[in-house]
Amino acid sequence: MTGMNTQSSETAAGQSPDQSAMSKSRVLEADKSCSVPVMFLLTWALAWLVGGGILAVVSSIKLHGPGFLAGSAWLTYGRVQPASIHALLYGFGFQAAIAVGLWMIARLGQAELMGRKGILLGGAFWNLGVCLGVFGILGGAGTGHPMLEMPGFVSPLLLVSYSLMGVWALITLHFRQVRSLYVSQWYLLAALFWFPWIFIAAQSSLVFHPVRGALQFVISSWYGHAVVALWLVPVALAVLFYFIPKLLGRPLHSKHLATFGFWTMALFAGWGGVQAGAPVPRWISSVCIVGGGLMLLPLIAVGMNWWFTARGAKPAQGDFVWGFIRFAAVAFFAAMLLDIGGRTRVIGEVTDLTVFSSGVYALYFYGVFGMSIAGAVYYLVPKITQTEWPSAQLIRWHYLGSMVGTVLITAALVVGGVIQGLRLNNADIAFVDALAKTVPFLGLSTLGGLILVAANVAFLLNLVRLLTVCCRCCCCLPWNGTANGNKAAAVGANL
Amino acid sequence: MAVTWYGMLVAPSRQMGGQQQANVGPGNERYPIPRLGPAHRGAEVYRSNGCAYCHTQQVRPQGYGSDFERGWGLRMSAAQDFLFEETVALGQVRMGPDLANVGFRLTDEAWHYAHLYNPKSKVTGSLMPQYPFLFKEQPIKGSPSGDALVLTGAFAPPTGVEIVPTKEARELVAYLMSLKSQVPLFETPLPAGPKQDAEATASSEGAGNAQTNLALNR
Amino acid sequence: MKPDRNKKKTSGGPANPSAPTTKRSTPAAGGSKRGSRGNSEDSEPTAGSEPVPVWLFVLMALMLYSGMSYLHTYGGGFNPKVYENFRSYKLVDSANPKSGPEMLIAKGEALYMVCAACHQVNGMGVAGQFPPLMGSEWVNEPNPARLIRIPLHGLSGPMQVKGQDWNSSMAALGSALSAEDIAAILSYIRQAWGNTAGPVTPAEVEAVIADTSSRSMDGSRPWTASELMSIEVAQ
């Protein structure tokens, strides 16, 4: 991974038209080669996004209306809540990230995506694994470790299918035509390695050979932190570092600043998860507080880089992709600042053990990760399928809905969490009364969740309509092309 | 990356992985004691129904939050308390009260059964969901069963019907009753001051104090 | 796997990712990249090479320093026994009530200097002269009744310790040390150097003194090993 920042400095001022045409055709080839596996992963990802979103709304309603669907063990809050988190994170988050990552690796390297069948197989097994995992949680077989609830037998399946997909990303990267690596590739490559590392480390010591006592808490909290800081955020940063300069039509301000941001993040992002006051030796939570403070460094570096890149620039032709990207970039700063602040002792005394952390997670997940992925999807799908989005109206709804929904959920949970914390810390207020003031905010977050589900239905609908248009044009299903990658490319070229 | 791994996983493992029972009294008393029988199985019920998504089992240190003032514990929780937990369920959010010492604070099993069946029957305004699937509704044959729930007023079952806890409910309540972590430890001595007199906290004396502190809905 | 892999390899050397229309700016001409929008929307993003501002490194050094000093203050010395509300092991230690066996052991450690003259600070004794206390079956006997008698009245004659024969004598300390002192020393040696027996209470020593009131503590009637072994002790 040390070779990652070997960004070539030979970015010459001119290019012969010949070369440029060649690179253009290679880009086209790379795009087309992605179509089948990426569309497969994306379709399933969006299906999980809608499904997980519905589960999230159900669990959110239960928080303020405990009688809702309370009769069944399968739908009790303590199972629906983790099920929704896992459906969204592993069903949507991972598949969408891998889909976008594969495309970006192929596109930036101007190389055809390799191992398409392997990726399809991996994607199929991944979906099977997440499905089993979510049903396992609803059936009461959860492991009891937040973010790692899926029953133990699922994780080998997930790891194998992840490797099936990840290996081909690496091979595609290896055979890239453009030798120099762009910032986005660093983040993607890092995330690609970080996930199996944190997953194996946490799974093996929690599920397969459970460690004793409170150590489990340290490891599961660390995993919950790391899966955001070392997977969701790097993937989102890869997307943002790609699209901000691209849509603004100017080079990124500084690759050195990007290097600084990348390595400080690689060094400090993993230090977190255990809040102050937790029943473990004090140094562990102190280290997490310091790690949070040091995360200001990559935050500043990334912020400066984007700021100087974007200053005074306007995106090309009122691009709707830009809306998503801009929102995700702003959300990144808001989420990081809330996260770092929440870790300090002063704020943590109020916000720890309240819904505040769910609000920050929602901002990371929907705001930073979801919005940047959505922006990327809107850009890449027309390229790889050679089909325009059927409805601009649905995109507008999706944009507005996800923006309003994300802001509503985050604001409601953050403000509600602070109120909950302040009132719980005042022992003169009885517990039930302390919580009562937070209930309206929980209602608001349910509303936000509903809006998000509606927005994501629009997203999915648009994608499905695009697929049917695409299929009708080709007079054949796109995945008929899997049998022969070249044929798929040829079909795309005929459009 | 390796540094992070060392710092967040290996170093804590080396410190806490080899933890043993502690000596907590002049007579060589050991703490904690592993759970046995129904209480042990009850931990599984607690885990599989995701109770930890609303309840914590960690008393925060004195002066940090209001856990002490609420009577949730006489000292902060320590790693030692969780030594024998198969799945450590510290919890992340307090939609419900902390349960680290619920075995001291709420000692009435009948209260727990009625509360699990319908929390509102015991705590007005409770946000906790009902757990009817942990109970069985059955017609009264002859005299009512000894373990039938005592529910009054609006919560009473129709005449001729009684509600009895299932095996899971019994195990869960046994588990709740076993949640006690007040024994002073070296690393978490009882805070100095007026609470010092509760030296004999393991005895029912300390528990009684905490319980009188405890308005039901705290 | 891919039939056209070879073809691709021949299809070109390292390609230039920058768009033809993107004017590259030298770091010195910071503003010149303004308005150089690539008009080909498929041009891949490239990165400029502005240097990292020096103050960012200064900030990093400052933050690392303050992080370290935070850990120095609030890290509890990375000790597993230091929790919130304490800053060091010493403070935890002093917050613990000093009574019962712990205090006895601490006192015993100081008083052990008397014994260390023969049995050595490390409890190993001196080969052929003074038997070891470390791992000794006499010291580690669950019921300390026999052990208490040894310092009270002294011991002389042949005995077996850890499978070896010894033949020397030990002076009586009963008149020089109080019952609590003796309990302290014995409590200390029963948990030091890997010994694992429980503490000895002053009351237990008092009880032995009462039982042996006929025996003088001035060293005139030391015990022999066989005498000690013949004492009935509840195990």
Of C80, C85, C100, the CB nearest to B26: C100
B6 and C CB contact within 8 Å: no
CB proximity B66 to A under 8 Å? yes
In a domain, B3, yes or no: no
Q: Which one of C71, C74, C84 would you mutate to disrupt binding with B, by most B Cβ within 10 Å of its Cβ? A: C84
- Test the C interface: residue of A282, A289, A322, A343 with most C CBs within 10 Å: A282
pTM: predicted TM-score of the whole model, two decimal places: 0.78
Which residues neighbour A6 within 8 Å (Cβ) at sequence distance 6 or greater? A180, A181
pLDDT band at A473 (very low <50, low <70, confident <90, very high): low
pLDDT bin (cut points 50, 70, 90) of residue C31 is very low
pLDDT at A133 over 60: yes
CA distance A19 to chain C (A): 8
Cα separation, A33 vs A341, whole angstroms = 44
- The pLDDT tens digits for A319-338 are 789 999 999 999 999 999 99
pLDDT band at C99; cut points 50, 70, 90: low
Residues of A in contact with C42 (CB under 8 A): 24, 27
Q: Which of C17, C40, C49 sits opposite A9 (nearest CB)?
A: C49
pLDDT at B192 (0 to 100):
55
Does some domain include residue B115?
yes
d(CA C195, CA C141): 10
Q: Please give the average per-residue pLDDT across C129-140, as a whole number.
A: 85
- Measured between CA atoms, the residue of chain C closest to residue A113 is C2
B32 at interface of A, judged by CB pairs closer than 8 A: no
- Using the beta-carbon criterion (under 8 Å), do C16 and A11 form an inter-chain contact? yes
Nearest Cβ partner of C83 from B11, B63, B188?
B188
Mean predicted confidence (pLDDT) in B142-149 = 83
Distance from CA of B190 to the nearest CA of C (A): 8
Residue A407 pLDDT more than 90?
yes
B chain contacts of residue C144, beta-carbon cutoff 8 Å: none
Q: Is B107 on the interface with A (CB under 8 A)?
A: no
Using 50, 70 and 90 to split pLDDT, how confident is the model at B1?
low
B61–chain A Cβ distance below 8 A for any pair: yes
Write out chain C residues lying below 8 Å of A486, CB-based: 3-4
* Share above pLDDT 90 across residues of chain A, in percent, rounded to a whole number: 72
Nearest to C45 among A115, A246, A259 (CB): A246
Note whether residue B44 is domain-resident. Answer: yes
Q: State the Cα–Cα distance between residues A82 and A134, nearest whole angstrom.
A: 8
C34 touches chain A (CB under 8 A): yes
Q: What is the pLDDT of residue C155?
A: 86
Residue B24's pLDDT band (cuts 50, 70, 90): low
By mean pLDDT, which of B60-74, C134-148, C214-228 is the weakest?
C214-228
Please, which pLDDT band fits residue C39 given cuts at 50, 70 and 90? very low
pLDDT of res. C8: 35
The amino acid present at C38, given as its one-letter code, is G
- CA nearest to A195, candidates A61, A98, A301, A323: A98
Contact list in A for residue B13 (CB cut-off 8 A) is: 205, 211, 215
Residues of C at the B interface (Cβ-Cβ below 8 Å)? 78, 80-85, 92, 95-97, 100-101, 198
Residue B159, in any domain of the structure: no
Q: Write the burial class of residue A177 (CB in 10 Å: 0-12 exposed, 13-18 middle, 19+ buried).
A: buried
Q: How far is A159 from chain B (nearest CA, A)?
A: 19
- In chain B, how many domains are there? 1
Task: Determine phi and psi for B23, rounding to 5 degrees.
Answer: -85, 120
Residue type, A264: T
Which among C38, C67, C83 has CB closest to A281?
C83
Q: B152 with B117: CB under 8 angstroms?
A: no
Contact C100 B61 (CB under 8 A): no
Q: Could you tell me if residue B37 is inside a domain?
A: yes
Q: Are the C-beta atoms of residues B39 and B176 closer than 8 Å to each other? A: no
Res. B216: pLDDT tops 50: no
Q: Assess whether pLDDT exceeds 80 at residue C187.
A: yes
User: Is the pLDDT at A11 greater than 80, yes or no?
Assistant: no
Among chain B residues, the shortest Cα distance to C96 is held by B189
pLDDT per residue as tens digits for the range A72-106: 899 999 999 999 999 999 999 999 999 999 999 99
> In this complex, do C92 and B189 lie within 8 Å of one another by their Cβ atoms?
yes
* For chain C, counts of helices (H) and of strands (E): 9, 2
Stretch A272-281: mean pLDDT = 90
- Select from B89, B91, B97 the Cβ nearest to the Cβ of A431: B97
Does residue C106 surpass a pLDDT of 90? Answer: no
Q: Which amino acid is at B116?
A: L
Q: What is the percentage of chain A residues whose pLDDT exceeds 70?
A: 91
Q: Do A27 and C44 touch (CB under 8 A)?
A: yes
Q: Let me know: does A38 contact A99? Beta carbons within 8 Å.
A: yes
pLDDT of amino acid A211: 85
Across the range C163-182, mean pLDDT stands at 82
| Cα of C54 to nearest chain A Cα, Å | 11
Q: Which of A23, A290, A485 sits opposite C70 (nearest CB)?
A: A290
Does C51 score more than 60 pLDDT?
A: yes
Q: Do C48 and A8 touch (CB under 8 A)?
A: no
In sequence order, the 6+-apart residues with CB closer than 8 A to the CB of A293 are A340, C63, C66, C67, C70
Q: Do A257 and C84 touch (CB under 8 A)?
A: no
State the SS3 of chain B.
CHHHHHHHHHHHHHHHCCCCCEECCCCCCEECCCCCHHHHHHHHHHHHCCHHHCCCCCCCCCCCCCCCCCCCCCCCCCHHHHCCCCCCCCCCCCCCCCCCCHHHHCCCHHHHHHHHHCHHHCCCCCCCCCCHHHEEEEECCCCCCCCCCCCCHHHCCCCCEEEEECHHHHHHHHHHHCCCCCCCCCCCCCCCCHHHHHHHCCCHHHHHHHHHHCCCCC
- Chain C partners within 8 Å of A179 (Cβ): 14
Cβ-contact A223, A202 below 8 angstroms: yes
B158 domain-assigned: no
Of the listed ranges A345-359, B89-103, C188-202, the least confidently predicted one is: C188-202
Q: How many whole angstroms separate alpha carbon A202 and alpha carbon B9?
A: 9
Question: What is the domain range of residue B87?
Answer: 28-119+168-213
- What's the CATH number where B195 sits? 1.10.760.10
pLDDT value at residue B27: 56
Q: In this predicted model, which residue has the larger pLDDT, C19 or B128?
A: B128
**Positions of E strands within C122-183:** 155-161, 164-170
| Domains of chain C listed by start with CATH number | 57-95 (no CATH), 100-229 (1.10.760.10)
pLDDT at A146 over 80: yes
Contacts of C6 in chain A (CB under 8 A): none
Tokens representing A159?
A: 């790891």
Q: Are C198 and B28 within 8 A, CB to CB?
A: yes
With the CA atoms of B43, B47, B52 and B56 taken in that order, what torsion angle do they form, in degrees rounded to the nearest 10?
20
**Cβ-nearest to B48 among A141, A215, A355:** A141
d(CA A174, CA A182): 14
Structural domain contains residue B54? yes
Contact between chains at C83 and B16 (C-beta distance less than 8 A): no
Region of poorest pLDDT, from A447-461, B119-133, B138-152: B138-152
Q: Which of C87, C95, A278 is nearest to B186 (CA)?
A: C95
Strands B30-31 and B22-23: antiparallel
**Tens digits of residue pLDDT in A412-435:** 999 999 999 999 999 999 999 999
Whether A347 and A275 have beta carbons less than 8 Å apart is answered as no
Would B114 be classed as within a structural domain? Answer: yes
Task: List the single range of A138-152, A397-411, C131-145 with lowest mean pLDDT.
Answer: C131-145
